[in-house]
Amino acid sequence: MRLESDEDFDALAAAFADLATRAGAIAMDVLAAPTIDARAKKESSPVCEADERIEAFLTPRLAELLPGLPIVAEEAAAAGADFARAETFLLVDPLDGTREFLARSGEFTINIGLVVAGAPRAGAVFAPALRQLWFAGARAFAAHAQPGRPAPEREAWSLLRVRALPAEGPTALVSRSHLDAETKAFLATHRVAKTRDVGSSIKFCRLAEGAADLYPRFGPTMEWDTAAGDAVLRAAGGGVVDPSGRPLAYGKAEASYRNGPFIAFGDPAAARLC
């Protein structure tokens, strides 16, 4: 697949969206069982059958779509994989928000992102239980999509754009399951009009669709948690910056792909409040 023009990146994002939507059937299948077996991974993050089955579905299909590109995926990393370093590579989180999944809150996602030279350039986020799909290359789109079916055709896509910072102040989104003391302190010291809890990478997508303004994150995340949502948000006019104001960088192999603190924003005016 060629990756040169804006259209190439939009077409790749649509291909990611199609794979994520089809993989959504696995999540719904596991969710339909009366009990879900889960175990704790390192750092107390849970993993269940769905994480592993979705990654096993996506990995060979992505390798076929983009032959030769390294695929840095959450469960492969947990199993100790040693990823080849490359300027262009894929980041896959088969199930972001595993805690939400196990709690059956519906706020969990399948994430596929493409990184080029340290920046997310294409991505797809699918929330199977909500039947909502967000994806972006040069432009960002959303669509309703059915788990296990092909992603919808172009006529059903809507273009995403962040909203202007409201006069009453920003609405902030925070993790439903992992609200740390530093994030609480940020909320207390900034003029946040409202705070809402949202699970998983859906937070980036809500900023991209203009439903909120800020997502401060001081607790731990991994690059595969953020790359796809970051790609969607950047293409919708927002961004993700570290505390010094630089765009969140990807490809931190020496840090085992762990992110530092970041602030995601819709309107750049919201970032200037931070």
Ligand X SMILES: Nc1ncnc2c1ncn2[C@@H]1O[C@H](COP(=O)(O)O)[C@@H](OP(=O)(O)O)[C@H]1O
Annotated binding-site ranges for Mg(2+)? 74, 93, 95-96, 225
Rounded distance, CA 104 to CA 138, Å?
A: 33
The residue range among 6-14, 55-63, 86-94, 257-265 that interacts with Mg ion, by the rule CB under 5 A, is 86-94
Residue 230 as a binder of ligand X (CB under 6 A): the answer is no
Rounded distance, CA 259 to CA 219, Å?
A: 9
Q: What is the dihedral of CA 68, 134, 93, 181, to 10 degrees?
A: 140
CB contact at 8 A, 99 and 109: no
Among 178, 184, 190, 252, binds ligand X (CB under 6 A): 178
Residue 177 as a binder of ligand X (CB under 6 A): the answer is yes
CB of 248 to ligand X, least distance (A): 14
Residue 106 as a binder of ligand X (CB under 6 A): the answer is no
Rounded distance, CA 99 to CA 23, Å?
A: 19
In DSSP terms, which residues pair with 124 in a beta bridge?
112, 135
Rounded distance, CA 22 to CA 266, Å?
A: 29
The residue range among 56-64, 93-101, 144-152, 185-193 that interacts with ligand X, by the rule CB under 6 A, is 93-101
Among 225, 230, 248, 265, binds Mg ion (CB under 5 A): 225
64: part of which helix (H) or strand (E)?
helix 49-65
The residue range among 34-42, 54-62, 184-192, 219-227 that interacts with Mg ion, by the rule CB under 5 A, is 219-227
Q: Closest CB to ligand X among 21 and 109? A: 109
Any idea what DSSP says for residue 247? B
40: part of which helix (H) or strand (E)?
strand 38-40
CB of 261 to ligand X, least distance (A): 13
The residue range among 154-162, 171-179, 243-251, 259-267 that interacts with ligand X, by the rule CB under 6 A, is 171-179
Catalog residues that contact ligand X under the rule CB under 6 A. 43-45, 74, 93, 95-98, 175-178, 199-200, 219-222, 225
